[in-house]
Structure 1
């Protein structure tokens, strides 16, 4: 069943009663009863401290939480002149639909600016409100992306995939393209709500990268803002990030196909304006099960090696086999190998006839291998020192874009037997 709106009748009625607002702050949530009150509190305090003269509405867009998230959010008392709407969105389950509810509300209220923050944040402060909204309100930017100070093993999908491709493919140095905490101008909100994606997989996953890439491709004014440390419900890559890898990579590759004419001949990466100062505090550590990452990589080679051999060039496959013979403490999947593997995977995806999700599934162990390698490479580094390695890798992706074009335009041949074998696994 398709829905023309993510707003249920109750929410529509409340929005119509409010008529207008200067600012809308959306908080998409699902089973976040332990953190939602703190997030709402910091948003409310920030709006009062920095924008007391502006009419603000806080939208709690819930995915049908089975805990007390909505009750906690409803009970929290806001500062004067602030309004709050708590509701369950309508449509395909996922963060994309939660954001659709926020964006449609901002559209109906004709808000000057709209901001969204995740509901699991523990480090959000009232200063985040100004950091995200001020570039829109005072400097006429359309899209504000966050820059966090994160522990070196937090954000492994961003550090090893998304940040690199945003630069190399789309030509913009946006440090956190899937950060989750953004701000938008009225003009960009109007654009987003009119796009025909809300009944697609973008509404299930991949919404953050979609928002970012759309802002890039349609040449909206983009900037970044330092928010300081990000402390949230971080996940061990070996335990929880396989599904996210598949979702984000699938969305990225699909966006690359849709925008091919815009990026195919683009070279270099443009620096994006940055507001605020970087924090040098060392973030709280996140545990990583290195042995499990390496084991998952080696099991991937055992299960999918015959397919990998057909997808990847001879040198890449040889490097993968070499890595699989290494002990956990010495494990390495070299940076140059990872760049070529990801580019060859993009080319295969582009020319894959069906069931592309299965192709991404087959590649997940390689992501585990690259994360394990990064852990070993940075084990004696601070997070700030590890950041330099992330930047070095991103520059490598940019310099190797010709390799992507070659893989994209002239992929390795996939025989019918190969495709049948992949479908069966």
Structure 2
């Protein structure tokens, strides 16, 4: 039987890397499915550079498709949904997503991801790879521990970007409500959280190292969008689930190589968070009792590995109690302080020691949320997503992307 495989590349202004990603996708498709119908879809929204031209110039054996949308008000999720729409039109059997800014994409990723979603039951493949210790902050301190705490499943890279899913997953995902933030950077956690909510099979696929453009300059808007989508899914979940059976495998996610973030960008972000807390600190301490005793630090607040799990538990309780937007946005401010504290905590630690610290933090988050006995189902999230709260404190905050 001739099967159709779609590799989708969501992009905006990625002319430097999109051609190499497309060529790796094509090589991987030819290796894994030499007699299949293979399609590479570039979904881009408002690119102002040569992204589309670079993709068009890439010599591919697979069929090329370009799906373009305006830039204003759109983001990564807009592109992913465009890829999904093209896959449905093509009657695809499986869909893979490869981020356009990755410099370490390997052709073998295609076969590994596709194999993980083989079968007739809905399945989602997510990546497992080694990352710079100063990156993956939203993953390490928000998405992964919160998903473990609510769904009882430890997923190392739930917002990694290199995903795959089969036709049955596409059909299931078509029934899920899409909050506005899912059209932005909330898309990855929207896919993973909904899969866990509906007990869909989620497979972690080792992909080696990930090298890409640092997401740190987006540290105010990206986690806000991720939390918005995650909290929407949490509120449609029946209950906080107990930890899954068995002991989660120890992570091996921290790479040996590391590059510190630009001090100027760190200083700007810290200043923006300071302005936010100057206005909202009283409400932050009310909504997050665990943050009431955190001490000062040169960057603002010292939020330690012992305190952070209880802050996350406060957030889950606040969302369930109807304080969705305040919990989301206040948590972003505390999260930035947690990241900067974390960087101090890991100074001098080996990669394995950093991994163990993150594993302990996730396990403590699970225990803290379980201890709260949070009741879900009694609140609803906002109908619209508005980035202005954080844009008002970040002088350089752009239109969401």
Say which of 137, 147, 159 aligns to 1:156: 137
Task: Check if 1:36 corresponds to 2:21.
Answer: no
Say which of 227, 247, 258 aligns to 1:249: 227
Bigger Cα displacement from structure 2, 358-367 vs 150-159 = 358-367
Separation in 2 of the partners of 1:221 and 1:294?
39
Task: Check if 1:268 corresponds to 2:249.
Answer: no
Over 3 Å counting, the alpha-carbon distance change for 1:70 and 1:251 in structure 2 is same
Q: Tell me the residue number matched to 2:292.
A: 317
Over 3 Å counting, the alpha-carbon distance change for 1:139 and 1:390 in structure 2 is farther
Q: How many Å apart are 1:53 and its aligned residue?
A: 1.9
Corresponding residue SS for 1:152: coil
Task: Check if 1:217 corresponds to 2:197.
Answer: yes
Over 3 Å counting, the alpha-carbon distance change for 1:393 and 1:98 in structure 2 is same
Q: Tell me the residue number matched to 1:391.
A: 359
Separation in 2 of the partners of 1:345 and 1:167?
14
Greater percentage in helix:
1
Separation in 2 of the partners of 1:195 and 1:348?
24
Could you tell me whether the CA contact under 8 Å between 2:132 and 2:254 is conserved in 1? Answer: no
Q: How many Å apart are 1:228 and its aligned residue?
A: 0.7
Say which of 77, 85, 96 aligns to 2:65: 85
Q: How many Å apart are 1:26 and its aligned residue?
A: 0.4
Could you tell me whether the CA contact under 8 Å between 1:97 and 1:203 is conserved in 2? Answer: yes
Task: Check if 1:186 corresponds to 2:172.
Answer: no
Higher radius of gyration, 1 or 2? 1
Corresponding residue SS for 2:41: strand
Equivalenced residue count is 376
Separation in 1 of the partners of 2:188 and 2:119?
24
**1:343-358 pair list within 5 angstroms:** 343-352=313-322, 356-357=324-325
Q: Deviations over 1:72-110 (max 9, x none)?
A: 11111112xx21111204796122221111112212222
Could you tell me whether the CA contact under 8 Å between 1:223 and 1:272 is conserved in 2? Answer: no
Q: How many Å apart are 1:286 and its aligned residue?
A: 3.8
**1:107-186 pair list within 5 angstroms:** 107-137=88-118, 142-186=123-167
Q: How many Å apart are 1:392 and its aligned residue?
A: 0.9
Q: How many Å apart are 1:409 and its aligned residue?
A: 10
Separation in 2 of the partners of 1:114 and 1:193?
14
Could you tell me whether the CA contact under 8 Å between 1:167 and 1:398 is conserved in 2? Answer: yes
Corresponding residue SS for 2:235: helix
Separation in 2 of the partners of 1:338 and 1:392?
11
- Give the alignment's Cα RMSD to 1 decimal: 3.2
Structure 2: runs of 5+ lacking an equivalent: 380-391, 394-401
Over 3 Å counting, the alpha-carbon distance change for 1:173 and 1:279 in structure 2 is closer
Could you tell me whether the CA contact under 8 Å between 2:255 and 2:351 is conserved in 1? Answer: no
